[in-house]
Amino acid sequence: MTDGPTYGFDTLQIHAGARPDPATGARQTPIYQTTAYVFRDAEHAAALFNLQEVGYIYSRLTNPTVAALQERVAVLEGGVGAVCCSSGHAAQIMALFPLMQPGCNVVVSTRLYGGTVTQFSQTIKRFGWEATFVDFDDLDAVKAAIDDNTRAIFCESIANPGGYITDLRAVADVADAAGLPLVVDNTSATPYLCRPIEHGATLVVHSLTKYLTGNGTVTGGVVVDSGKFDWSASDKFPSLSAPEPAYHGLKFHETFGPLAFTFHGIAIGLRDLGMTLNPQAAHYTLCGIETLSLRMERHVENAQKIASWLEGHDAVEAVTYAGLESSPYYDRVAKVCPKGAGALFTVALKGGYDACIKFVDTLEIFSHVANLGDTRSLVIHSASTTHRQLTPEQQAAAGAAPNVVRLSIGIEDADDLIADLDRALTAAS
């Protein structure tokens, strides 16, 4: 879209990054299913490989369909650029890759998706990186966890599985005082409910697989660059501030300014890690984002109604939905997620582990899957699946204790969902 009027979210989710195809006039973004691109001449090829000109070389790096998606998500999040990749987990590694060196650490919230906990507590050790887990409601603990080797702070805006809302501005203030980037996983909120960059985030990551695509068809991830961090303010980020040997000593921050992280993500990250998003998946996600605001409104409306009903059920011990007045995070909703507390939360059953298993097995409309953010309502018993690899203490800290089930509320008729839940709760108790 051209410079000029400031467009609203509903307009941008359809038009940002999308232009009629110059070759055919096709209005929907085509799937550019190609491996490589013909150079105009040898000089053009050299300029592309030297990062002196922006264009298409090879689809591991850049692809027109993926580029349209990158622009759309960046615009919706209020960033200057974005790098798409093959999954949400890939996006997390892509976000850390330019920041970390062997011996460095990242301070992360204890309230994270179980797979992320494993990635940060186990897998990143293979890179020589470490993670320090802290309760982000305790800002003094966050400050105390930062040391000379810390290179980033990481949290989720609406944490999976419990739906806890992080005080992003407070955490961003801690990151700023330490001269560190704040990386926020905004998957559960989407930019419709929360724009972390407006709360001080440096980078935003998403699993495109979830609400942004919205239909459970593809996997994908994205890293959005705010363009606001000074990578040259210290010597902590040499990948972005120091000469890059692979590009004849080019300094990414000096050369590309606010887009330094984005260019590095493509020219180094995708080149060497190869976590590429395929163009067909990008196309599905572009189509999904066109209805994001409409879906999120219904997701939130249904979640609010169902969480309120569940809170009063005799078989239920507790509901973690932040949209309930009983939630300790209720006051943060208006500040962090003014359009609603999302559609992800957990329910603790009085009958414990066995009741949870019976409950999950009895549901009919809710699909028992390891996913969230679908138009369909989903359920999972995290302690025996997504968080199974964690210790009991880690499960409890993540909000995935054995007596807890996670619900991802879809956009079906809310009364039908309540009837389904009621049947299953009766059978489980």
CATH code for position 273: 3.40.640.10
Name the least confident of 3-12, 150-159, 328-337: 3-12
H/E stretch holding 306 reads: helix 292-311
Any idea what DSSP says for residue 236? Answer: S
Q: How many domains does the chain have?
A: 2
Highest mean predicted confidence (pLDDT) among 115-119, 149-153, 381-385:
149-153
pLDDT tens digits for 41-52? Answer: 999 999 999 999
Q: Which of 394, 308, 315, 397 is nearest to 348 (CA)?
A: 315
Whether 66 is in a domain gets the answer yes
Give the residue, 305 or 389, on which the prediction is more confident: 305
| 16 and 136, same domain (yes or no) | yes
| 127 and 27, same domain (yes or no) | yes
For residue 338, whether the previous peptide bond is cis, meaning omega lies within 30 degrees of 0, is no
| 203 and 316, same domain (yes or no) | no
Cα-only R_g, the chain: 22
| 298 and 276, same domain (yes or no) | no
- Which of 260, 288, 316 marks a domain boundary? 288
pLDDT of residue 185: 98
Whether 2 is in a domain gets the answer no
Whether 114 has a pLDDT exceeding 90, the answer reads no
What contacts 14, CB < 8 A, 6 or more positions away?
Answer: 290
Total length of the chain: 429
Q: How far is CA 127 from CA 4, 112, 327, 426, in A?
A: 45, 21, 38, 49
pLDDT tens digits for 175-193? Answer: 999 999 999 999 999 999 9
Share of the chain above pLDDT 70, in %: 99
pLDDT of residue 184: 98
| 145 and 15, same domain (yes or no) | yes
Beta strands 182-185 and 150-156, pairing class: parallel
Cβ contacts of 357-361, under 8 Å, gap ≥ 24: 357/381, 357/384, 358/424, 358/427, 358/428, 359/405, 359/424, 359/425, 359/427, 359/428, 360/405, 360/424
- Which of 254, 288, 322 marks a domain boundary? 288
Q: What is the mean pLDDT of residues 289-298?
A: 98
| 116 and 88, same domain (yes or no) | yes
Whether 30 is in a domain gets the answer yes
pLDDT of residue 116: 93
Q: What is the mean pLDDT of residues 9-15?
A: 96
Q: How far is CA 111 from CA 34, 126, 138, 195, in A?
A: 40, 23, 12, 19
pLDDT of residue 365: 98
Where residue 5 falls among pLDDT bands split at 50, 70, 90?
Answer: low
pLDDT tens digits for 222-269? Answer: 999 999 999 999 999 999 999 999 999 999 999 999 999 999 999 999
- Which of 237, 269, 288 marks a domain boundary? 288
Q: How many CB atoms are located within 10 Å of the residue 217 CB?
A: 14
Could you tell me the two tokens for 371? 């996913």
Distance CA 421, CA 423 (A): 5
| 205 and 87, same domain (yes or no) | yes
| 408 and 296, same domain (yes or no) | yes
pLDDT of residue 208: 98
Share of the chain above pLDDT 90, in %: 91
Beta bridge partners of residue 184, listed in sequence order: 155, 204
Instruction: Classify residue 35 by burial, with Cβ atoms within 10 Å: 0-12, 13-18, 19+.
Output: exposed
Yes or no: say if 54 and 81 are a contact pair by the CB < 8 Å rule: no
Yes or no: say if 354 and 380 are a contact pair by the CB < 8 Å rule: no
Q: How far is CA 219 from CA 211, 283, 290, 325, in A?
A: 11, 12, 17, 35
Where residue 351 falls among pLDDT bands split at 50, 70, 90?
Answer: very high
The parent domain of residue 194 ranges over 9-288
